[in-house]
Amino acid sequence: MDFLPFTRPSIDEATIAGVAEVLRSGWITTGPKCRELEARLSERYGGRPVRLAASATGALEYALRVAGVGPGDEVITTPLSWVATANVVLTVGAQPVFVDVDRRTRNIDLDHVERAIGAKTRAIMPVDLAGLPVDRDRLYEIARRHSLRVIEDAAQAMGSRWADREIGSTGDLVALSFHANKNFTTAEGGCLVLNTEADARLFEKLRLQGVTRLADGEMDVDIVGYKHNLTDVAAAIGLGQLPHLDAFNRRRAELAARYFDRIDPALGLELPLPDDPGGPGRSNWHMFQPLLPLSRLSLARGEFIEAMKTRGIGIGVHYPAMHRFTLYRRMGWKDGDFPNAEAIGASTVTLPLFPAMRDADVDRVCQALSEVIEPALRNRTA
């Protein structure tokens, strides 16, 4: 039986040929393909400036720098995300301020955000976990009322929508990820959607050593920059991916709907929040993540993952609550600080979900879930 991973990129032959063309061209670092991809993305996001980076982590860091966030400042964010979300705040010398998540959406709880705002708060950094968008209307109402910048960690949300507007087409500074496991990939990479050409020029300097190239061939450096530029090899992958993004996301939605239909309710899994047909939010279904009913099971999460693996099915964990990591414990956070994030982080599992999957693959996963969980439920209650 073939192994079914929890994700796999969909790369067609035309995209592979495009990469080969770049390799043959002799220009493989940042160049015309990167400029073309930036232009295509800008078109998608209503003409807003878009600048590529070697990762969404770099895009987030530079977004903070563009927003003027630095030492002595605080940034409100969620503890339930890939650790880069908080790490970049530390990188610019600021302090992350965690607030708990909403149990159903698993996104940052905007009620808690209101309470966490203080004199040092400069920005809010929400995360669209698994592609489910945070309530943009309320988020920006809070930010406007308190004169805060918003750095949208939309790394997982390419193609998601709020109030019929694609994430990235509106808002403040929006970072998107093109990592290999994302809905749209350049193997590694990301971008920042900005508001002004002046901010875009600042981003360009930050991602390449602070350099400004002058018309006479000279150059100048007026700020400390870094090294986070994307290559044309990666951009060629993105140019091949972009025409398929909407179809990829439609297929993901179909597979998610099948999971909702086929997972046995008797297993006691807490399923993610489905799209509300009448609501403003639309997920891109980057991941499908039920929560295990660990208090009712006779096996631990690691044992569940191994049992699924023996049935040829890969399971991911996205994400542990990051305030429990050693780095953040040293800063004073402890177990019990954010009970919703901790409970979700301890019991979440990521099921296979990618466009090339067949309906039968979902059925196979659901059958394996029953085979693994049902005996564990019986053993716990025996």
pLDDT-derived band of residue 1, with 50, 70 and 90 as boundaries? confident
> pLDDT per residue over 284-303, tens digit each?
999 999 999 999 999 999 99
Which residue reads 């969909």 in tokens?
10
Q: Is residue 33 annotated as a catalytic residue, yes or no?
A: no
pLDDT-derived band of residue 381, with 50, 70 and 90 as boundaries? low
Q: Which domains can be identified in the chain, with CATH numbers?
A: 13-244 (3.40.640.10), 245-381 (3.90.1150.10)
d(CA 93, CA 73): 8
> Which of 260, 296, 299, 300 minimizes the C-alpha distance to 276?
260
The per-residue pLDDT of the chain, averaged, comes to 97
Provide the percentage of residues in the chain whose pLDDT is more than 90: 98
Contact 343, 105 (CB under 8 A): no
Q: What's the pLDDT at 305? A: 98
Residue 382 has pLDDT above 70, yes or no: no
- In DSSP notation, 36-105 reads HHHHHHHHHTTT--EEEES-HHHHHHHHHHHTT--TT-EEEE-SSS-THHHHHHHHTT-EEEE-PBPTTT
Residue 27 has pLDDT above 60, yes or no: yes
pLDDT-derived band of residue 235, with 50, 70 and 90 as boundaries? very high
pLDDT-derived band of residue 378, with 50, 70 and 90 as boundaries? confident
Long-range contacts of 366-369 (CB under 8 A, 24+ apart): 366/259, 366/262, 366/263, 366/264, 368/308, 368/311, 368/313, 369/263, 369/264, 369/267, 369/269, 369/308
> pLDDT per residue over 155-201, tens digit each?
999 999 999 999 999 999 999 999 999 999 999 999 999 999 999 99
**Which is catalytic among the residues 33, 120, 182, 309?**
182
> pLDDT per residue over 193-228, tens digit each?
999 999 999 999 999 999 999 999 999 999 999 999
- Model confidence, pTM: 0.97
Residue 107 has pLDDT above 80, yes or no: yes
Residue 242 has pLDDT above 60, yes or no: yes
pLDDT-derived band of residue 379, with 50, 70 and 90 as boundaries? confident
Average pLDDT rounded to a whole number, residues 73-83: 98
Amino acid at residue number 134: V
